[in-house]
Structures are given as C-alpha cells and as structure tokens.
Structure 1
Amino acid sequence: MNMRPRSPTPMLRALLALVLLTLAGSVLADPPGRVVRMSYISGNASFQPGGDDRWSEALINRPLVAGDRLYTDRDSRVELEVGAAVLRADDRTSLAFLDVTDDIVQVELTQGTLNLKVKRLFDGQTYEIDTPTLAFVVDRPGSYRIDIAPEGDSTMLTVFDGSGSVYGQNSASYRVESGQAYRFYDSSLRDYEAMDLPRNDDFDRWCFERDGRYERSVARQYVSEEVIGYADLDGYGSWSTDASYGAVWYPTSVSVGWAPYRYGRWSWIDPWGWSWVDDAPWGFAPSHYGRWVYVGSRWGWCPGPRHVRPIYAPALVGFIGGRNWSLSISSGGGPVGWFPLGPRDVYVPWYRSSRNYFTNVNVTNIRNTTVINNTYITNVYNNYAAGRVGNLDYAYRRDVNAVTAVPDNVFNSSGRVGNARLNLDRNSLARAEIVNRVPVLPVQASLAPNDGSRAAPQRAASFDRQVIARNTPPPAPAPFAQRKAAIDRNGGQPLQTQELRQLATRSAPVSTERVKVVGTAGQRAPQALPPRGESPTRIDRASAGNAPARGIERPDAVKAPERAPSTLGRETATPRPAPRTEISERALPSSGYAPRRERAVVPGQAPKAGQAPSPSSRVIESRGGQNVPDRPARVMQSREPTPQRSVQAPNRTAPSRVVEPAAREAAPARSYRAPAVEPRKYEAPANRPEPRAAPQRMERSQPQAAPQRIEPSRPQAAPQRMERSQPQAAPQRMERSQPQAAPQRMERNQPQAAPRSVQQSPPREQGQKGERVERKRDKDDR
C-alpha cells in the first residue's frame, strides 16, 4: 500500500513557526547594543551609507554601522564615538567600518591618519584596525595612532599608551608595547623599523585636548562611560536631583515650543530601521538612552543606571497612527506621529528582538528599575511577540506639547522635522492609535538627506585597496535596491541581522577577495619583535607620517634606492644610495621571519666588511644619545617644537639607522641606553672666563715673540693686557721676585689700566693683595 506522509495542519505549521522563531530569536533578531556616532566635524567630511553608491555630507549625531564609509577632505577632521572608545581621523583619511557589534569594532583604514583612544575594554571586546600592510588589535586600554603611506605600501603604528598585537601574512604576529613607534613596509612584517615616540604634531595635540573633555566631564558622575555623547552635555545644560527620578539633566538653551525628538530628522539604518538623528550637538545621548520627563515647566532627561552597560536604541519614542487618524495635509501622504517615552513607559521596538534584548533595552535605560515592574515588561513583550499592541498607558501620548507629526514624504526622505511639523489638537490625538510598526516604507533618500548629496571624494579609489584583517568581517551590505525589495515584502519591517547577511552573501559579486584574513584557529600567541639593532631617535611626524604637519615643512630625507618614493615621507630632493649593513642570523620565531639587511643611512663611504664605521663617517641617533641633547622626555602631554629642533634644518636627514656589525650583533632590540645628559662641547660659553694661570706660565717661559705664538689659542683680551702693561723692565722684575701672579699685579700698576672694565677681573682677594704689593713697589722705586 502506498503510504504518503500527511502534511501538517495549518495550526501545527503555525506552532512550529512560533517555536523556531522563539529558538532563533536570541541569535537572529537582536541588533547590536552600540553604534558609532559622528560626534565632531571640522571642515568637510563625506559619508557613504553601506550599500549606497551616493556620497553625502557627513552630519553630526548620525549613527554609523558596518558597511558605512567616511572620507575627510583637506584641512578637515572628524571624531567618532563607539562605546568606551573614540576614533579621530585627520584630513585626507579614508576609513570604513567592516563590523560593529557588542564584541568587536573592526575599522578599515586605507589612507590617512587615525587616532584610537580606548578608555575601557570589557571581557571579549576587540578593537581592530585593518590596513594595507597589517591588522592591529588592541590588547589593553590606551592611546594609539596609525599612519598610512600615501601609496598604501607601509604603515606606521604609534603606541602612546597601552599595548596590542600586529598580524600579517604567513602567520606573522608580534606584540607592540607602550612608548614605542613602529613602521612596517610589507604585509609579512619582515621589513620594519622600531623607534622612539615621534614628536607630537598638531593632530596629536588636538587628540589629547579632546581626550581631556571626556576625562573632565561632569556628566561622568551621573551616566555610564559607555553612554555615547555624555561629554557634550556639559556645555548645554545642568544637573539636578529629583526625589522621584534621581539625577535629571535639563537643557538650558532651547527654542520656544521645543520638545524631545522635534528638531532633527529620521533616517533608515539597518537593522533597526527608522532612527532619529538630532540636530543639537548634545542630542545623541538623550535621544538614544534613558527617558524624558516634564518637571515643572521644562523637559529634563533621566539617564539609565551608571554602573550598567547601556543598550543603544534608535529612538526611545512611541508611534501613533491608525485608520481613524487623519490631518489636513496640503502635500504628501498621511501623517506620521510620535512622542517621547516617560520614566514609566516601556519601549516597544518596531523591529524584531528577543525577550532578553527587550528586557535589557528597557532596564538599562531606566535608572530606578522599581519604577517599571519586571512583570509588566514581560506582559508587554508577550503582546509584542504575538504582534499585538496591548493596553499601554503612556505618559505623553495625548500631550499636544509632546507629540510631533509630519507628512510621510518628509519622514521617509530624511527631511528636517522642525520645519515641516503639523498642527495638532486634542481631538485629533484622541483619534490616533498606538502602533507597533511605522506605516512608512523607506526610499533611497531615507539613507541620507538629499540636501547633502555631493560628488565622490577625489581619493575614493583608496577604498579599493586590499587590507589585512585578523578577524573575518561580515559581507558588505547588499545594494539598497535589493534590501528595499526584501523590506517591502516584509511589510516595511526591518530585516534582521542574519537576514541582511544572507542577502549580502547572495548579492556579492564574484571577484578577488579584497579583505585578506590572516588569522588562523591554531595560530600561536604573538611574540616580541625580533631585535633589529639600533633604533632611531625621536622623529617628527612630518618625516614619519603620510603628510607634513600643518605649518611644518617636510624635511629632506634619504631614500633607499629600492623603495618607492612615496613611502612614509621618505622622499628626497637629492637621492643618495643608502648602504645597508649585514646582520647575522638570530634565533627567530617560527613565523617565517628571515634576516635582512639592516636599514642604514651613512654619510660618505660604507665601512668595509668586519670594520666598524669611523666616528667621522658614522651617524647614530640613539635614544637619549649625545647627538640629540634636546630630546624631550617621553610623555603624552603636548610639546611644542623649539626652533633648535626644527625639522627644517638643511642638514637634518630622515631618521637614520646605523648598526655596528660587531658591537651590536648580539644586543637585544632597544637595549642601548645612552645617558640622556646634555653634551659638553669643546667651546666654552662666552660668559665663562678662561683660567688665567695657564697663559701666565706660558708667558714666562717664552721669549718676546711668545705673545704672537699664543694669540691664536688665547681669547682676544689676553694679548691686549700684555701689550698695555709690559714695559721693558717688567719681565726682569717678574722673573726675579714675583710669583706666578706677577703679571696681574703689573697690569694693575700701569697707567693704561683704566679700560680694565672690558677684561676679566681677578678674584677679589687677589686684587686686594696685588694692590698692597704694588703700592710698596712704587715707594721703593721712588
């Protein structure tokens, strides 16, 4: 008998779907708990959302996610916040975010200069900077700087504080330590240099100054350090303590009729969907964390618990709409309205999430957890998971002064809300319903505002460079047209993270892999860098980075003949060959490292094999060596360069390295510690008198022509004293009866002693004794 399996009933299929959704909810549905915030822009910066081919103007408070790109124009800088870390990019810098989650921030840097400040590193968290030469992974909180050569063929890494590891091809991996700078010239990390910290340039000083804002921030006393944007609250408001809500921050400068989430715009940012971008420079933290409360006659912001890691929310608002809500709109579609959540309101996401996320995003953004009962949160989640709204009693749902509404075409085109908001009354609000989905579909303009469109940056080609990565990033976002089609099929609801990645994998073009992943599962732990001989001394950023510091001219530098002329500022106006001194093989790690010729810059002829360079032809710039007497101490605070150390000196070459083959053969890296003492030159300062006894002894033993012989080595004043004070009989009296100081007494007895003020005066005791003897001799002569 032919037995066919029975197809499941509709009820059984629904039950299975619910079980699968519940099991996969915690894995597939939850979006990241943090994003990257555009916190500061100086000059012009261009922004490209992931999956979009348009470039637009970068905006303050715009969240950045995996796939987004950023380029800073000439004389421009940007600052980006992500959790307890800050990234700052100098001008003409190309960077992109490969991955941004709770556990990893993976940045692609293909051109320019990037500063990374990590204030706190939680267990399992990783900050990774991928460059064309290497991948740098932070091990400890600290301050780091990465410079990419203009052609992308070398990377300079400066570790101001903290530590990390660098990874390259062929399983190469090494540790980099605090207070060191490194330059790597190949992706296998075989060709490198280690050096002291370069002198701080203008970009370094700006970064340290910005770091001070966070350290001195008053808001740190009230909010978690992971609340993005807390430092901007200090200059725009004040804190007060309320008996019911605890610490409350009140903005001090707002316009008449201001309300939370009223002056800004909405943008579509996956995987949350509609996200609020506030116009106020302080508007990020109060828009994505905590709750708003209306106390007295003003709005105040209540942050979440200070000692709990917060979870980012795209906007802590509730949406209203429904079939019965209609407003008189001259142009566009139907209205879209929203209101801020109060301290007792439960946040219901308009995107899918797990129970764990739903609970945490509410609890971590409310300081007093007893205000909202956990059972109540659970009941709301059950309705949310079933697609129901439930009976929610929101504080400001019917408050005309709190609700904001605009036409849907303004909403989905990322238009400014404040200029297009609709007039509301209590009767219209009474007809509106609370909705759990925003009834607006995104368009391409939803990714970035139309008023900021611009041409692609001139250096946009730098984004196509291959980079070295330690961790495998997710696939690049699919083009927006494909994502929009999937969103439309999903009823306008945002796609989950896993759905976005699956779509990106299917739409990825067949091409060579641009991101070269070098990490392996069984790779050994990073080792210390092999010894490379003598390290160069402290250098200037202008001669080490990819571009001269502002206001500082790049010094001439000697270029190795086999190097490209654009490698980390080693270009030269008068190229000379750079002899390379051979080093012997050492016990090297098993990473495939092979010995190479040492980098060297030796003026004149290279030494012969087995012979150390002569002092006249050898130039060694060592740490604290006597040839660099004015080297500043290695500290992190700003240091202004002095004219004596100007990098514009015509005879100052790029940081050079010379290794004595015999003496430095077995020395470990950076083992040389010359005493950092001010060198004493052979010439004495002009205001220091020469000893007088030596020339006097020479005068007694020399014939009359002696003054002519000693004039070249004596100060100018010595022959003058002899010529003015020596009569013919004077030498005879000196030889018979005078001690060594006799010439001094004779000088004081001459009529021409008046101009003595220009000579070096003897000590006071000798002068008094000489005068008594001279008076006695005058009496005998008479």
Structure 2
Amino acid sequence: MASQTSLDILNLDDRTLQLRLAQGDVDVRVRALASDETIVVDTPSGAVLPEQPGSYRISAGRSGDAATVIVHFGRAQVLTNTSGFPLHANQQVRLGGADGAPSEIAAAPPGDEFDRWSAARDKREDHIAATRYVSPDTTGYEDLDAHGTWRTMPEYGAVWVPTAVAAGWAPYRHGHWVWVEPWGWTWVDDAPWGFARFHYGRWVWLNGYWAWAPGPRIARPVYAPALVAFIGGSRWSVSVASGGAPAVGWFPLGWREPYVPWYRASPTHVRNVNITHVKNINVTNIYNDVTQIQYVNRNHPHAVTVVPRKSFVSAEPVARTALRVAPAQLAQAQVVNTTTPAQPARESLARQQPGPRPPAATIRREVVGMRAPPVRAAQGFAATSPDAAQQEARRPVATEQPRVRVIGQRRSDTGAPGRQLGSGTPQGSGPQAATPDNVPRPPQADVKTQPRSVPQALQRQVERRKPSTEEAAPQARADMQRQRRAPGNDAATRATPPMPAQRVPQREVAPHRETRGPGPEARGRGAEQEPAHDGERKGRGRDKRD
C-alpha cells in the first residue's frame, strides 16, 4: 500500500476477501487462489477480481473520478457499471467516472518506484525458508527467518529457536491478555515475531532453551487465541506482601498435549485445532480427561507464569506483574482450562490504536462492488448490574457503513462470467480485522505448487456454456485448451512466475509508506466446520498489500 492510500477490509472470511480502495495505490500479490476463493478490490469506478495467482496494481484517484488497473502477471476480471472484461498479463486499463467507462486496453507501462519496491519485497517473500516447515497460511510466517533459526530434532521434527530473548524468557510471559470475541482471553505478545509462535504449534524445552515446534506441515492450520493451560480456580490465591490475593496462572502446552478451548466451540473446531499435535483425536476424551492429563510443563520452574487476577483482567504487562510462587502453592492450583480463568472488565477489551484518518470525503466516497459488505458492529461493554465489571456484558454498537453501489455480474468479452463473490459468512478458522481472525477448518493435504492458466471455477463456468465462434475470443479458447492439458487441476495453485522486466527491484525502501499489516490479531483459515460461534476467522493464506 502506497502513501496517501485509503484501504478498508469490507468482507473477510474463509473464502472471500473484499477490499475497498477509496483513493491511492495498492499492489495485490496473490500467491494462491483456490477455485472456491474470491478476492475483489472495489474502487469508485469499478471492481477488480484477480482470477489467477499474480501481481495486480490498482489505483484510485483522489477525486474519485478514475481508476487504473495494471496486471503485471496473472489475469483479472474488471467489472464496471456498464461492462465487464478480462485483463491479461502486462496489460492496463483506465476506468473513468462513476460508470467506469473503460479506455482502450493498452500495454502496461514501465514500473515506477512503488512497483519496484513492491516487487523487491515480493521476491524476498518468495524465498522465505520457513515455508519448508510451515504453511504460508500460518499468520506471521514471514517473520520467522529474520528472528530465529530452524533445527531438526528426532522427536519433534523441525523446531524454531528465537535468536535474541531476555534472560529468564519463557513463552507467554512477555505480553498481555485481552478479551476478544468470540475466543475470550487472547494472548498479545510483545515480540515482533510473536504472532505465529503463540497461536499455532507448541513450545518445547531443549536442555536450557525454548523452541517452537509447529508440528507436521498442513495446508490450512487453525488459529487458537493462546495454546496454554490455565491454573488457579476461584478459590486459589497466592501470598503477596499484603497477604493472599486471587491469582491466575498458565503454562505453554507441550508436545502432543491437547488444546482445550475455554470458549464455546464445536467438536469440529476442537478436532481441527488439535490435528497437528494430537493423534487419534477423541473430542469427548479431551474434555473428560482434562484433569488426568500429565502436562510436561505443569511443574516446570521455567514454564509457569502467575499474575494477580486484577492485573490479568486489566491487560497489564505480564512481565512487570508476574509473581514468584513457591512450588508448594503451584502444586495446589488446579488446571482450569475448560472454563474462563477470570471474567473480563471494561479494560480487558482490545484497545484500538488511533491512527491517521483519511479526509471525510474519502471515507464517505462510494465504491462499485458485486456485493454489499456485512453490517459493521463495534464491540462495546454495557453495564447491566452493579458488578458489571465482573460480567461478560457486551452489546454491538453500529458504526458507519461503507457505501457500496452493487452491480450485477456481467459476462466478459471472452464469454466467461466473473467469479461470484462469497457469502460473507465466516466458515471457521480465524479472527477478523483488529481481532483474531482464525476459524477452524478441516485441514487439507499440502499440494505441490504448479502454475495454471485458467482458474478452476472459471473453466467450469466456461465449459457449462456452449461457446460459439462469435462469442469465444481466440485467447480464451487457447487458455481453455492449455487448462485441459495441464496436470493437477484439482488443487489450489501456488504460482511464482518470473518477474516482469519492468518490475526489476531497484530499491528496498518504500517512499513514505504507511505501516503494513492488519494488526497483531488478524489472519487464519477454515472451511467445512460446525463453528459454535461466528467470526472465528484469523487472516488468509494469500498475500495482500494493506
């Protein structure tokens, strides 16, 4: 995302990413696109739907009266109020006015400074070593190479060891807890690499140091708010200077130990969130035998962290408020990971960090899209009784709804209809913008990456028609023939095409660029689930410039 860009996430679930570009420039790098997935960028002049892995530069003017679409490689459908047409590799088109009247399709221009910066960053991410050990759908995998090293252990397989941590460091000790719906208590780590390591996998102690063990590499890992077991209970307290004080403690789950959600969750979620570390998963046994589990870190002197309950609920930094607890007192604490360890208060809610806001006219600007986004709601905290600070009393608060002018789905010049935008209903594996976005979905076997010419869904749509000589362009027929001959069309593809000549990286620094990333609580994946609650989404397995 370039400077002076206004970009919103309108819809984010397991199969759909809908973005609103009111002004500015974005480079959307799509590394994988399954046949049932949709990415769409809505602009004031038209909607852009990438249909293949590729790189797409989309620009919207400050006045909202024009947009430009460039396909560096890949292919996209461009939909306006009056037309729909495909845009192929190394092509560009300009859309004018609210109706999006297109100019003639022309050759893409040489890349500018923003293109070169984006291409250089894409190239680095294309060669990240971590993808040999974890799925690119693991939110935060991009930070692994820069902050740690990989080792192979006979018992655990590939493990990751952080290169620089403080003395006495332990997992889930340097950060704080916040309350995020629908998961409840969610860990927010202080480390710049602290997302993937605390929401996926397990931590193991290796003769003097901690290592993160992600487990077997699966296509779509499932997000968890924190992979810990809590200890304490309503009657447990620890000795402090002023006497006994209610406390909350926890420790990281060890290798092969089951994760038991403290929030309401379906059996499918429990099964899928444990599938990388627990063999022969029996959900009933996981819940019934929780007190019988022999946790390897339960009595580990370097693993257990305890804080006053007041500090826990108030989202205070854990390292600053952690208590020294005698082993005898720790032994008296019960494992309570089937229920929430403490009720939230107003200060428990995840804080929204204020940032620069676009001009009011840009915020209110209407964009063109194929579907209206879901109604936004903000998390509030309503006092319903005198002791509301100890209750989960919350109410949704309506916020300003983005203006989207919905247009009908149109056939392109090649006779192929555009992709249908997803329903907007989370299906199951992660948190949504500003909150954790992962919802469980049944993991799928990893697939080998191979490029394809025509997306699977688009091919099926074309084949169901009866293409005629008049309506099927030569390029479309050639694409269809190549697709029929290509092997492995049943899997989602992951293409890393050669970089176009005009996108040769020349600089490493973006010119006046805003901070990238949706925040610490965002990304993940899920699918055919029976989620017990909505919004379990935590990010997506494709790269996007935000």
The answer to whether the Cα contact below 8 Å between 1:113 and 1:145 also exists between their aligned partners in 2 is: yes
Report the alpha carbon displacement of residue 445 of structure 1 after superposing the two structures with TM: 4.2
Aligned-partner Cα distance in 2 for 1:150–1:462: 8
1:438 aligns with 2:340: yes
Q: Which of 265, 287, 298 is matched with 1:397 structurally?
A: 298
- Deviation of 1:128 (Å): 1.8
For 1:207 and 1:149, the matched residues in 2 are separated by 20
What residue is the counterpart of 1:527 in the other structure? Answer: 413
Alignment correspondent of 1:598 = none
Opposite residue 373 of structure 1, the aligned amino acid is N
> Which of residues 279, 289, 292 is equivalent to 2:190?
279
Residue 232 of structure 1 corresponds to 143
Secondary structure in 2 matching 1:334: strand
Secondary structure, aligned partner of 1:157: strand
Q: 1:373 to 1:265 in 2, by over 3 A?
A: same
**Aligned positions, number:** 423
Match of 2:20 in 1: 108
Deviation at 1:238, TM superposition (A): 1.7
SS state at 1:213 partner: helix
1:469 partner letter? G
**What's the secondary structure of 2:286's corresponding residue?**
helix
Residues 159, 213 of structure 2: 8 Å contact kept: yes
Q: Which of the pair has the greater relative contact order for Cα pairs under 8 Å at 6+ separation?
A: 2
- Equivalent positions of 1:191-340 (< 5 A) are 191-328=102-239, 334-340=246-252
Verify: 1:119 aligned to 2:37, yes or no: no
Matched residue type, 2:26? L
Give the conservation status (yes or no) of the 8 Å contact 2:66–2:100. Answer: no
Q: What is the identity, as a one-letter code, of the residue corresponding to 1:402? A: A
Cα deviation per residue 1:305-330 (whole Å; 9 max; x = unaligned)?
Answer: 22432112221111222133212457
Helix, strand or coil at the partner of 2:158: strand
Structure 2 gap segments, 5+ residues each: 416-469, 472-498, 508-546
* Letter paired with 1:95: L
Tell me how far apart the structure 1 counterparts of residues 404 and 307 of structure 2 sit (CA, whole Å).
Answer: 43
2:80 touches 2:99 (CA, 8 Å); kept in 1? yes
Q: 1:374 matched to which residue of 2?
A: 281
Distance in 2 separating the partners of 1:640 and 1:374: 50
Shift of 1:348: 1.1
Q: CA deviation at 1:380?
A: 1.4
Separation in 2 of the partners of 1:636 and 1:123? 30
Taking structure 2 as the reference length, the TM-score comes to: 0.69
Report if the CA contact (8 A) 1:333-1:409 is conserved.
Answer: no
2:155 maps to a residue whose letter is S
Conservation of the 8 A alpha-carbon contact between 2:381 and 2:393: no
Overall identity of the aligned pairs, in %: 40
* Cα distance in structure 1, aligned partners of 2:125 and 2:281: 34
Matches within 5 A, 1:379-778: 379-381=285-287, 383=288, 390-435=291-336, 436-449=338-351, 454=354, 457=357, 459=359, 462-481=362-381, 508=398, 514-519=403-408, 523-527=409-413, 635=501, 637-638=503-504
Q: Cα distance, 1:217 vs. partner?
A: 1.4
Query: What do residues 663-694 of structure 1 show as CA deviations (whole Å, max 9, x unaligned)?
Result: xxxxxxxxxxxxxxxxxxxxxxxxxxxxxxxx
Residue 516 of structure 1 aligns to a residue whose secondary structure is strand
C-alpha distance in 2 between matches for 1:158 and 1:333: 62
Q: Look up the match of 2:9.
A: 97
Query: 3-state SS of the aligned residue for 1:262?
Result: coil
TM-score under structure 1 length normalisation: 0.49
Following the alignment from structure 2 to structure 1, what is the Cα–Cα distance between the partners of residues 231 and 361? 45
Given that residues 257 and 401 in structure 1 are in contact (C-alpha distance below 8 angstroms), is that contact kept between their aligned partners in structure 2?
yes
| Secondary structure, counterpart of 1:210 in structure 2 | helix
Change (3 A) 1:333 1:287: same
Aligned pair 1:178/2:89, yes or no? yes
Give the match's secondary structure for 1:117.
strand
AA in 2 matched with 1:269: V
SS of aligned partner of 2:321: coil
Deviation of the 1:159 alpha carbon: 1.3
CA–CA separation in structure 2 for the residues paired with 1:118 and 1:249: 27
The 3-state SS of whatever aligns with 1:359 is helix
1:390 deviates by 4.6
Contact 1:174 1:528 in 2 (8 A): yes
Q: Which residue does 1:351 correspond to in 2?
A: 263
Deviation at 1:276, TM superposition (A): 1.9
Secondary structure, counterpart of 1:430 in structure 2: helix
CA positional deviation for 1:157: 1.6
Distance 1:373 1:518, change over 3 A: same
Letter matched to residue 256 of structure 1: A
Pairwise CA distance, 1:277: 2.0
CA contact (8 A) 2:140 2:193 kept: yes
Kindly provide the amino acid, as one letter, of the partner of residue 339 in structure 2. Answer: R
Q: CA RMSD in A?
A: 3.4
Q: Superposed, which structure 2 residues align to 1:43-58 within 5 Å?
A: none
Distance 1:130 1:321, change over 3 A: farther
SS of the aligned residue for 2:105 comes to strand
What's the secondary structure of 2:292's corresponding residue?
A: coil
Judged with a 3 Å threshold, the aligned counterparts in structure 2 of structure 1 residues 378 and 453 are, in CA distance, closer, same or farther, namely closer
Change (3 A) 1:492 1:296: farther
Determine if contact 2:117/2:505 at 8 Å carries over to the other structure: no
Report the Cα distance in structure 2 between the residues aligned to 1:222 and 1:277, rounded to whole angstroms.
24
Q: Report the AA paired with residue 116 of structure 1.
A: V
Distance 1:425 1:137, change over 3 A: farther
CA drift at 1:379: 1.4
Matched residue of 1:327: which SS?
Answer: strand
What does the per-residue CA deviation read over 1:74-127, in whole Å, with 9 as the maximum and x for residues that have no partner?
xxxxxxxxxxxxxxx222222222222211122222232222111111231112
Distance 1:271 1:131, change over 3 A: farther
* C-alpha distance 636-141 of structure 1, shift in aligned 2 (>3 A): farther
Q: Summarize the Cα distance change of 1:444–1:325 in structure 2 as closer, same or farther, 3 Å threshold.
A: closer
Range moving further from structure 2, 189-198 or 139-148: 189-198
